[in-house]
Amino acid sequence: MKCRKCSFENIKENKFCSNCGTELYPVPFYKKHPIKLALSLTSIFFFVLFFYSFISAINQIGNDLSLTQKSQGYISGKGENKIAVINIDGIIVETFESDGISSLSDNYTSAREIKRILEEIRNDNSVKALILRVNSPGGSAAASDEILSEIKRYKSETKLPVVAYLADVAASGGYYVAMGSDKIITNPATITGSIGVILSYLSFKELADKYGVKHIVYKSGEFKNLADSFSVPTEQEAKILQSVIDDTYNTFVKAVSEGRELDESYVRKIADGRIYSANQAMEAKLVDEIGNFENSIALAKKLANITEASVFEYGQKSFLDELLQISLPKLALKFLPNQLTTLPAFQKPQLLYLANL
């Protein structure tokens, strides 16, 4: 056997090199020092456990003491009166820890966080108007509906005007949440519309059949495993899924009809899932004006009957808040393309107000 150090050819019976004395058959570390290895692995385990426990505890303390909330950031204007701005940005989800890989992306809006911000604004008597700055292709149908309900409740309780400003994209759920506003201004380059519902998932049945993979399911009812990725829906199953889609779509149509004061039959004609440019949206009566963010501020002042106001963005996160929301899985996926982190194919089947953009 050749020595790994000096390449001298030794006989197999040798334990040490006849030339340099190097051990020919070294004992692996895990066999030579099993106790050290066990202690090292145990130390690593407890360190990771302590790290997550520490972060969770600090996060809870921060929430209790409101240390993680940077309430507002100045944008423009002057005076004691305030115009509050809330951003509906990115994919709309239920909470910051929602299921699905989309929650690992920084570019999303949490319905729960919007509710918290509205509570903060509601308690600020100097706020005289609210602007929703929407830049979202939509997301969860349930989360979009929660945001719309909270905006309506805020408007009902405060009697203050709400203006929606549509930025780059305000489609599907992004447009749905704007139905709680009194007026809608769209940027000239905005993509909006996409009124509709989608539910999608991947089917692996043919792939599984090809490689002999069997998907075993025990269920309590015939339709318990609807939208199973290892089967193709039957005609009856497809009808059930479509009926759920249709029912949710009716909710969307009703929201647009009420929010825009349009007849439902008319809304159904224009709500076939297509997107609209700013000019097309104006023609379809989906928005009130075409302009920029400054126009939305001017309109908010007009509706609030005030001439001067300081414009503040509410819901900004502090550095501590940003730090505490970082976890190892999120950090590992932080540099993935946004398209990958928001694909419905990577999520559980769910009803989405989401534009395919």
Whether the CB-CB separation of 316 and 213 falls below 8 Å is answered with no
Whether the CB-CB separation of 321 and 62 falls below 8 Å is answered with yes
Distance, CA of 55 to CA of 104 (rounded, Å): 18
Distance, CA of 227 to CA of 68 (rounded, Å): 40
- Alpha-carbon dihedral of residues 220, 223, 229, 235, nearest 10 degrees? 150
Please give the DSSP secondary-structure letter assigned to residue 2.
B
Distance, CA of 95 to CA of 75 (rounded, Å): 27
- Alpha-carbon dihedral of residues 28, 33, 34, 37, nearest 10 degrees? -90
∠341-319-329 over CA atoms, to 5°?
30
Whether the CB-CB separation of 158 and 118 falls below 8 Å is answered with no
Whether the CB-CB separation of 132 and 164 falls below 8 Å is answered with yes
22 CB-contact burial (10 Å; exposed 0-12 / middle 13-18 / buried 19+): middle
265 is catalytic: no
Instruction: Name the catalytic one among 172, 181, 194, 296.
Output: 172
Whether the CB-CB separation of 120 and 316 falls below 8 Å is answered with no
Phi, psi (degrees; rounded to nearest 5) at 93: -130, 170
Instruction: Name the catalytic one among 224, 239, 269, 334.
Output: 224
Task: Give the H or E element holding residue 84.
Answer: strand 82-89
224 is catalytic: yes
Whether the CB-CB separation of 136 and 89 falls below 8 Å is answered with yes
For the annotated catalytic residues, the residue numbers are 172, 224
